[in-house]
Amino acid sequence: MGEGRGSQSAVFVGGYYGTRTLAAIHREFRDPTLEGRRLFAEAFGTFLLVLVAAGGGVVNAVSGGKVSLAAQVSAPGLMVMAIILFMGATSGAHLNPAVSIAFAARKDFPWKRVPGYIAAQVVGGLLACLLLYGLFGSAGSLGATNPGPGVTQFQALVFEILLTIGLVSTILGTASRAQNIGSLAALAVGGYIILAGLWAAPISGASMNPVRSLAPDIVLGNLTNAWIYVVGPILGGLVAVGIAYILRGPGGDKPAVEAAQGRIERIIEESKVEVLSNPEAPSPSSRDPVANRGRGN
């Protein structure tokens, strides 16, 4: 696609832009008209994630223990798989401040967009916990993550750091040119979340996500252990960035940037080109009965 749009039909090959440059990806991500979609995607995706992650503990308490620990830790991983697959192309499906910060530190994502992404994630997480609180009160402590019985804050912090190193390493690795696996990254990331929860949840809750832990704490007004789940994941994510540099050198390659920033403009542009290249296909407006009112149709 070069630095300008040029002739779309000349570069639209096999359903994608074969000559689309890294500079073009960065330029398209700066399109302010699509920022609302990206922030909505982050808020909505984080809402779903926290609803499932915190909701497992809530439903377990309300149902009298019918949701096992294995089910509670598996549900968030499965939800992340679904979210990455159905809307990862819109915003990158970070769903986690530690991931947004790590992508930015890896130079796959612009630092100036990090505050907006984190704000959207916080809003989504809080809405999920407010909904749970409105329905069930403080049942199950709203699924709050805390150190397990007999586990010190330091032990929980170390576990959160280690678990997040593995999570962010999986995310950065499957997004890079070296190990890019496209949509299969959803299986790797979701699978890791399940694996981490299955063996480490009794120690720290296996949060690996500041918003997932802060949201119930804020709604309940109990921030005693909140610092563990902010410092641990963010520090673990930054360590994972250093490990990624050792393994693969500097970031910023095209597959990683696309994974971090999404492909919403490319998808919209490809849809337009497809319609233009197929004159027999009905236009979007001709398929919309509301848009055709008053046009003599």
Q: pLDDT: is 139 or 255 the higher one?
A: 139
DSSP-assigned letters across all residues of 9-68: HHHEETTEETT--HHHHHHHHT-GGGHHHHHHHHHHHHHHHHHHHHHHHHHHHHTTS-S-
Structure tokens at 12: 């639209």
**What is the mean predicted confidence (pLDDT) over 81-98?**
95
Q: Give the confidence band of 279 by pLDDT, cuts at 50, 70, 90.
A: low
Give me the residue spans of the domains in the chain: 38-86+95-251
* Cα–Cα dist 123/267, whole Å: 26
* Cα–Cα dist 287/129, whole Å: 39
Q: Does 175 score more than 80 pLDDT?
A: yes
In this structure, the number of other CB atoms found within 10 A of the CB of residue 157 comes to: 20
81 to each of 53, 56, 84, 85, 190, how far by Cα in Å? 13, 17, 5, 6, 5
DSSP-assigned letters across all residues of 274-291: HHHH-TTSPPTTTT-TTT
Enter the pTM of the model. 0.83
In this structure, the number of other CB atoms found within 10 A of the CB of residue 10 comes to: 10
**What is the mean predicted confidence (pLDDT) over 132-148?**
98
Backbone angles phi, psi at 16, to 5 degrees: -155, 165
Amino acid identity for residue 95 in this structure: L
Q: What is the pLDDT of residue 184?
A: 85
**What is the mean predicted confidence (pLDDT) over 161-173?**
97
Q: Give the confidence band of 173 by pLDDT, cuts at 50, 70, 90.
A: very high
**What is the mean predicted confidence (pLDDT) over 176-189?**
81
Q: Of the ranges 19-23, 158-162, 185-189, which is most confident?
A: 158-162
The answer to whether 269 and 263 are in contact (CB under 8 A) is no
Q: What is the pLDDT of residue 296?
A: 45
38-86+95-251 classified as CATH 1.20.1080.10: yes
Show Cβ contacts of residue 10 under 8 Å, excluding neighbours closer than 6 positions. none
